[in-house]
């Protein structure tokens, strides 16, 4: 699991962890406690970061939205959209994993040593041959002790998503997405007779006049067009 700051190129974390939402979340919780919350996280589209469901969300990115973090996904099969992070990965693998260590603990020690060198000693061309540590500043936004349900305007109907990913809508069950199980969503009516489905300010799809749910793909913005500071996460 690797996390970098897109602005300063600072390598925030390199951690040996299990490939799961819980494993990645435990790493990110530690990162957020130490470095604060970013405005956005850029990642690829696959689990545990994203899915093919509504808005591209998965349980991890639902958590990000509740924290006020915008999930940003690169275009499918387009690793060049994460070019800065991929270049760091190439160097990381060459210096720490070729060949890999015999134990997880030894591999983690290699990662820790690489991170110190990368951040504090290694000059970076894009930073005028200075190391990332000279440009890195933790976020002032702190990880909250408790997460609250999202708030919706008075013109929204509110539904709690059931464990199977469904809501009760006009007397019938309507599937929204398993990633949102237990979460509160808002539904805003439109003049066309449809209803826009939202979660934490993100539009997930529409319920059409036939009571079918048409999900939206996630918005994708190329890195050079991003408007808010972001970190990049990858496994």
pLDDT of residue 99 exceeding 50, the answer is yes
What does the domain layout of the chain look like in residue ranges? 2-143+221-234, 156-215
Which residues have CB under 8 Å from 124's CB, separation 6+?
9, 130, 131, 132
Query: ∠ CA 147-157-214 to the nearest 5 degrees?
Result: 95
pLDDT of residue 232 exceeding 60, the answer is yes
pLDDT given for residue 226 in this prediction = 45
pLDDT given for residue 227 in this prediction = 46
Q: What Å distances lie between residue 184 and 58, 116, 146, CA to CA?
A: 15, 42, 16
Helix (H) or strand (E) holding 109: helix 104-120
Architecture of domain 2-143+221-234: 2-Layer Sandwich (3.30)
**Helix (H, G, I), strand (E, B), or coil: what is residue 130?**
strand
When pLDDT is averaged across residues 106-128 and rounded to a whole number, the result is: 95
Instruction: Pick the range with the lowest mean pLDDT from 37-46, 81-90, 163-172.
Output: 81-90
- Name the pTM for this structure: 0.89
pLDDT given for residue 86 in this prediction = 86
Q: Per-residue pLDDT tens for 52-95?
A: 899 999 999 999 999 999 999 987 777 676 778 888 999 999 99
């Amino acid at each position: 699991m690797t996390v970098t700051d897109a602005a300063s190129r600072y390598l925030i974390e390199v951690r040996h962890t299990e490939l799961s939402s819980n494993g990645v979340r435990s790493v990110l919780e530690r990162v957020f406690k130490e470095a604060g919350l970013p405005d956005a996280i850029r990642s690829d589209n696959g689990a545990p970061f994203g899915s093919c469901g509504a808005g591209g969300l998965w349980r991890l990115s639902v958590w990000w939205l509740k924290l006020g973090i915008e999930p940003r996904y690169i275009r499918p099969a387009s690793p060049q959209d994460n070019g800065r992070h991929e270049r760091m990965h190439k160097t990381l693998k060459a210096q720490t994993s070729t060949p890999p260590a015999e134990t997880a603990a030894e591999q983690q020690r290699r990662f820790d040593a690489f991170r110190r060198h990368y951040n504090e000693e290694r000059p970076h061309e894009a930073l005028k041959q200075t190391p990332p540590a000279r440009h890195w500043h933790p976020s002032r936004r702190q990880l909250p002790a408790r997460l609250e349900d999202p708030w919706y305007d008075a013109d929204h109907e509110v539904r709690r998503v059931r464990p199977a990913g469904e809501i009760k809508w006009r007397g019938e069950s309507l599937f929204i997405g398993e990633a949102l199980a237990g979460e509160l969503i808002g539904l805003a009516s439109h003049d066309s007779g449809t209803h826009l489905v939202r979660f934490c300010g993100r539009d997930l799809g529409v319920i059409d006049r036939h009571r079918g749910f048409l999900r939206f793909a996630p918005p994708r913005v190329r890195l050079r067009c991003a408007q808010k500071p972001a970190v990049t996460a990858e496994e």
